[in-house]
Amino acid sequence: MRKALCVVALALATPAYALACSPSDIKIKQADLVREEPSQILTAVGEFVNNCADPVFVRFHITVRDRSGRVVASNDSWPSGDEPVPAHGSYAFDLNAADEPDTRRAVQSMTIDIVSANTDGP
């Protein structure tokens, strides 16, 4: 009984920030680089899942690289804008990855990093 009370007391003493959502709680389910016709604008299209217990705002960092691995464009974005993604919900996104003509021709790959996941908004 004493051990159970210690566990409950420890759980109650855990600061709120320790229970907060983190970028590792957001999982990208799908992410593709799509070349739009006829403009050739490159768009990051996909879906991510909020595995947090609360609705959150998620910030991405998109990096696009050429065939040699050099960065040719990067972009920070809040995919859901000013709307939080529901707890344990998913969100489909469509974000500009590269729009400059020279950059669009050179692009070979894309990575998306989750920069932040918070309840405060963008």
Task: Spell out, as residue ranges, where the chain has pLDDT lower than 70.
Answer: 1-19, 99-105
pLDDT tens string 29-54? 999 988 877 777 888 999 999 999 99
> What is the pLDDT, as a whole number, of residue 6?
42
CA distances from 25 to 50, 88, 90 (A): 7, 10, 12
> What is the pLDDT, as a whole number, of residue 108?
85
CA distances from 9 to 1, 65, 120 (A): 12, 50, 28
> What is the pLDDT, as a whole number, of residue 105?
66
The C-alpha atoms of residue 22 and residue 100 are separated, in whole angstroms, by 33
> What is the pLDDT, as a whole number, of residue 102?
64
> What is the pLDDT, as a whole number, of residue 57?
96
Q: Which positions ≥6 away from 107 have C-beta within 8 Å? A: 33, 42, 64, 65, 66, 72, 73, 97, 98
> What is the pLDDT, as a whole number, of residue 122?
83
> What is the pLDDT, as a whole number, of residue 17?
46
For the chain, give every domain's residue range.
Answer: 21-118
The two tokens of residue 35 are 């070349």
The C-alpha atoms of residue 121 and residue 106 are separated, in whole angstroms, by 34
> What is the pLDDT, as a whole number, of residue 19?
59
> What is the pLDDT, as a whole number, of residue 67?
87
**CATH class of the domain at 21-118:** mainly beta
